[in-house]
Structure 1
Amino acid sequence: MIPKTKRTQTARRLRLWWVLGNRHTRRQLGTVEDWKTRGVFWFGALTVGLVIQGFAWLSEESFSVTEHVFDRYPYAFLLITPFGLMAIVWVMNFGGKAARGSGIPQVLLAHKQSYHWLRAPFLSLRVAVLKVLLTCAGLLVGATVGREGPSVHVGAAIMYKFGTWAKLKQRQVESSLIVAGGAAGVSAAFNAPLAGIVFAIEELQQSMEARTTGTFIMAIILSGVVVLAFAGHYSYFGVPDVTAMPLADYPYIIGVSAACGLLGGLFSLFLVQGNRAVAPLVSKRPLRVAFIIGIFLACMAILSDGLTMGSGYGEARALLAGESEGSWLTAGGKILATLLTYFSGIPGGIFSPSLAAGAELGSAMGPVFPQVPAVSLILVGMASYFAGVVQRPITAFVIVLELTGNNHDILPALMVSALVGAAVSKLVMAEPVYHVLARDLVRGWDHLLREKEELASAAATDGAVVEQKK
């Protein structure tokens, strides 16, 4: 028979073993709050994918109507575009000024803890709805806008709202939700999950916490699953026929990339400086500025036979398929139309127009370098010009690679072109354009911070008075 003391010691050891083992299991499985956070990420990502897919369909249908009307009545856009821009600006100013522009500067500010006071106005569902509807309206009236930047804004707003409704306890989760929402927006907009991850790391977050990486990537995968379910597996710009480039062609590639990167940097510089110059006029006479810009856009569309309108998706796809040839005039018109549209203040991004302008530039340089395949030059032009605009080389070559069928034969050339384009761009534009635009944007919203500080100061004063009376 076992003595009582030994039985007691054995029981204590068994109890200690069970407690430690159960605690280890709980740590592996996570707490209720951990699963709540995962649920918000996952369900939010599925919702983002569904919304962005609807946004893509609506934007394509909108521009399809525009093309149909333009083919029949091109001169009608001398009225449609200016009055349409006026209507969009009026609705935006009435419904939510935070919907202005591409949306990426808003997300950059909102995810930083130092600007947490901007999250409510920038990431409201009203702003997200306006972003979708007004971007499509811009395409409908013949403006030059893309939907990828707005998709980042909409995705971040949806994920942030889910986190607010769930009342998550961890403060830092809000920032992770914003970044994951923006990345899921890019992934769903382009059907390019890897591009979403790289964009989030390189542009939005610039670093990632190890504890949120798995959940973050899962959110991007889930948004991509929704796109696959509704749109199937497709490449945004089709699958061009390209082969590996010999080493002898790389000097030409570097030359093209340097030229496109310089033009991309100049575009960013003009975008920032022009936006600052026009901002006082837009603040005082927004409708008048929109009307004047609309007249210019309509005239450019008529002169170019509609090539300067829209996101440029169709033109870039046709160039890669060998169905058309690029020209310097079309490239310059697309760049100028993108600048003017941004200056008008309507919602809309610069992703797709920049890729289209890069494709036009690459194609236009084909006769200068006849020994290099035309399709390869177009892809190099896209990667280098886009890298010059955003100064994010990894994002640039990954996006172009995924959007054209993931043909790894062209990958080394895309990497070189993106790096050269970004490096040359820094000669004329010292900082990435989205960060400069974000810094300019916050100046128009600093009244919110002053109001919060005044309320806090008044509350502290009232508390001190009450204490003195006691």
Structure 2
Amino acid sequence: MSFDLRRLEQLIPGVIGRKQSEIIQLFQHLLCLLIIGLLIGLACLPLNLIDGIQKSLFQQLPATTGSAWRPIGLILALLPIGVMPILLLLQRGPWRDAAGSGIPQTMNALEDHSQLAPALAAPRTIQRGLLWTIATVALFPLGREGPVVHLGAAVARAIHKRFKRWLPSLNERQIVAIGGGAGLAGGFNTPLLAPIFMIEELTTEYSLTLIWPALVIGISAAWFSSVGGEPIFGLGMINVMAPESEQLLIAIPIGILAGLVGGFFNRGLIWCSSFLEPWVRQRPIRTGLLLGICLSTLALSSWGTSTGDGEGLLQLLIQEGMPNHFPDGGSISQGITSIWITLVRVLAPMIALSPGVPGGLIDPSLAFGGLLGYTFCGLVGSSTHLGLALGMAAGLAGATQLPLVSIVFAWRLVGDQQLFAGVILCSVLAAYIGRLVARKPVYHALAELQRPNRF
């Protein structure tokens, strides 16, 4: 008995020492994850502020004022004619490495480990952010998820290199993927997107060793985004209570339509990007002028609704509606007008993104999907808010073939959790239909198109 007690007395200090060491390592790990999230949120803050400037500029257009074109609105609508050639010159010259959305480049780097360092280098990251800033202030119809994903991945990698011993369970590729997802959390105040985007798009790897660090970093980045002024529900609140039977009934046609439109948007963007690549390389000024004229023409012919990332337009529809331009009570003329505005919201982002201008297609896809659902429900006499909520998720799912990302984005931006059944059904339908139209998901197709060894 005495021997056992002495043995126990000898073991206790060792056990306590190991537990203390494990606790210290756990707190170091947790602290490092929180720091990474906070720094990603801090890095995304300037892009969020620029996006806010873009929304305020959108308020100067007839789409929101309800009046005729004013001088400031005309200047904003014509800006792409001068700005697009400048962007293509920069992309063709000193900032050639910063061209492209940012997500395909991050995906290529994750696939080829040797590309991680050059792809996520600070100069390239800053240049991509500046290109996006110029395009956004000029009201180009593109989103910001490309730059924020790239930025999040770059910040996470830089911290991992500095504090690698604090994150022994995560290798460089894993922390880059987590950081990319956290960029969305910091850019859109959506913490769940960090693990979901990482799993569904960047790594296709489901592992608890990745999910809980992604959640911690995502929550931290989203919290800083919230402190920086990004609201919980960025577009407002959908105040409609529809029975599940009605949701499911409306979700079927909206899911099919949005899947078809999203699939053709996918194919059109890939085809245009491939077609324009040699033109951008050889004749950046001429190509930029032509594309700028196309963007300005669409803006002038659609009361400015084709400009900006689309969030301002969706916010207007949710909060006030646009009776002068959108269907109300089944009016044929207003229905045709709304279909035209939906069409330009598909074409304009395709024109803006295809020459490699940094940006994203999430906001544009939410916009044309929301408009499609709004138009459909307006024409059939159903709730336009229901159509808007279902259409947003379906448009994004049809274009990206990422149903989980689409559901989380739609819920977080408009707070429509009461439409659970309809949002899920239309997202899944749209993703499947989109896959039938375009066999390869859009980000993967762009990544393949933009690999350095393609030519």
If the TM-score is normalised by the length of the shorter chain, which range does it land in? 0.7 to 0.9
Return the alpha-carbon distance in structure 1 between the equivalents of residues 93 and 141 of structure 2: 23
Q: Is the 8 A contact 2:54 2:139 kept in 1?
A: no
Return the alpha-carbon distance in structure 2 between the equivalents of residues 67 and 10 of structure 1: 78
Return the alpha-carbon distance in structure 2 between the equivalents of residues 37 and 121 of structure 1: 27
1:404 aligns with 2:398: no
Partner in structure 2 of residue 155 of structure 1? 152
Q: Is the 8 A contact 1:131 1:154 kept in 2?
A: no
The alpha-carbon distance between structure 1 residues 435 and 296, as it changes in their structure 2 partners (threshold 3 A), is same
Q: Is the 8 A contact 2:101 2:356 kept in 1?
A: no
Query: Match of 2:248, as an amino acid?
Result: Y
Offset, 1:102: 2.1
Alignment of 1:252-401 (within 5 A): 252-324=250-322, 325=326, 327-370=338-381, 372-401=382-411
Q: Is the 8 A contact 1:85 1:141 kept in 2?
A: no
1:413 aligns with 2:422: yes
Partner in structure 2 of residue 103 of structure 1? 102
Q: Is the 8 A contact 1:63 1:139 kept in 2?
A: no
Which is greater in Rg?
1
Q: Is the 8 A contact 2:60 2:73 kept in 1?
A: no
The alpha-carbon distance between structure 1 residues 248 and 55, as it changes in their structure 2 partners (threshold 3 A), is closer
Alignment of 1:30-179 (within 5 A): 31=25, 38-62=30-54, 64-65=56-57, 68=60, 71-76=70-75, 80-112=79-111, 115-168=112-165, 172-179=170-177
The alpha-carbon distance between structure 1 residues 68 and 340, as it changes in their structure 2 partners (threshold 3 A), is same
Offset, 1:209: 3.0
The alpha-carbon distance between structure 1 residues 76 and 248, as it changes in their structure 2 partners (threshold 3 A), is closer
1:424 aligns with 2:406: no
1:436 aligns with 2:445: yes
Structure 1 unpaired stretches of 5+: 1-5, 448-470
Structure 2 unpaired stretches of 5+: 62-68, 328-337
Return the alpha-carbon distance in structure 2 between the equivalents of residues 391 and 194 of structure 1: 18
Aligned residues: 434
Partner in structure 2 of residue 15 of structure 1? 10
Return the alpha-carbon distance in structure 2 between the equivalents of residues 432 and 243 of structure 1: 33
Partner in structure 2 of residue 224 of structure 1? 222
Query: Normalization by structure 2: what TM-score?
Result: 0.88
Offset, 1:346: 1.3
Return the alpha-carbon distance in structure 2 between the equivalents of residues 215 and 22 of structure 1: 25
Offset, 1:291: 1.9
Offset, 1:410: 0.5
Q: Is the 8 A contact 1:243 1:409 kept in 2?
A: yes
Partner in structure 2 of residue 467 of structure 1? none
Return the alpha-carbon distance in structure 1 between the equivalents of residues 43 and 98 of structure 2: 17
What secondary structure does 1:240 align onto? coil
Return the alpha-carbon distance in structure 1 between the equivalents of residues 210 and 265 of structure 2: 36
Offset, 1:418: 0.2
Query: Match of 2:276, as an amino acid?
Result: V
Return the alpha-carbon distance in structure 1 between the equivalents of residues 303 and 379 of structure 2: 25
What secondary structure does 1:348 align onto? coil
Return the alpha-carbon distance in structure 2 between the equivalents of residues 256 and 9 of structure 1: 73
The alpha-carbon distance between structure 1 residues 146 and 248, as it changes in their structure 2 partners (threshold 3 A), is closer
The alpha-carbon distance between structure 1 residues 436 and 199, as it changes in their structure 2 partners (threshold 3 A), is same
Offset, 1:230: 2.6
The alpha-carbon distance between structure 1 residues 84 and 234, as it changes in their structure 2 partners (threshold 3 A), is same
What secondary structure does 2:142 align onto? coil
Offset, 1:68: 4.2
The alpha-carbon distance between structure 1 residues 63 and 236, as it changes in their structure 2 partners (threshold 3 A), is closer
Return the alpha-carbon distance in structure 1 between the equivalents of residues 247 and 413 of structure 2: 23
How high is the sequence identity, in percent, across the aligned residues?
24
Query: Normalization by structure 1: what TM-score?
Result: 0.85
The alpha-carbon distance between structure 1 residues 273 and 250, as it changes in their structure 2 partners (threshold 3 A), is same
What secondary structure does 2:450 align onto? helix
Return the alpha-carbon distance in structure 1 between the equivalents of residues 358 and 236 of structure 2: 27
Offset, 1:413: 0.4
Partner in structure 1 of residue 236 of structure 2? 238
Return the alpha-carbon distance in structure 2 between the equivalents of residues 174 and 139 of structure 1: 31
Which stretch of structure 1 is more off in the superposition, 217-226 or 179-188?
179-188
The alpha-carbon distance between structure 1 residues 142 and 10, as it changes in their structure 2 partners (threshold 3 A), is closer
- Which of 23, 29, 36 is the matching residue for 1:29? 23
Return the alpha-carbon distance in structure 1 between the equivalents of residues 242 and 270 of structure 2: 37
Query: Match of 1:29, as an amino acid?
Result: I
Return the alpha-carbon distance in structure 1 between the equivalents of residues 287 and 27 of structure 2: 50
Which stretch of structure 1 is more off in the superposition, 425-434 or 232-241?
232-241
Return the alpha-carbon distance in structure 2 between the equivalents of residues 350 and 332 of structure 1: 15
Partner in structure 1 of residue 333 of structure 2? none
Return the alpha-carbon distance in structure 1 between the equivalents of residues 137 and 272 of structure 2: 25
The alpha-carbon distance between structure 1 residues 134 and 96, as it changes in their structure 2 partners (threshold 3 A), is same
Query: Match of 2:103, as an amino acid?
Result: I
What secondary structure does 1:137 align onto? helix
The alpha-carbon distance between structure 1 residues 290 and 172, as it changes in their structure 2 partners (threshold 3 A), is farther
Return the alpha-carbon distance in structure 1 between the equivalents of residues 5 and 250 of structure 2: 79
The CA RMSD over aligned residues, in Å, is: 2.6
Offset, 1:20: 3.8
- Which of 181, 185, 203 is the matching residue for 1:183? 181
Query: Match of 2:419, as an amino acid?
Result: I
Query: Match of 1:52, as an amino acid?
Result: C
Return the alpha-carbon distance in structure 1 between the equivalents of residues 11 and 169 of structure 2: 34
Offset, 1:440: 1.8
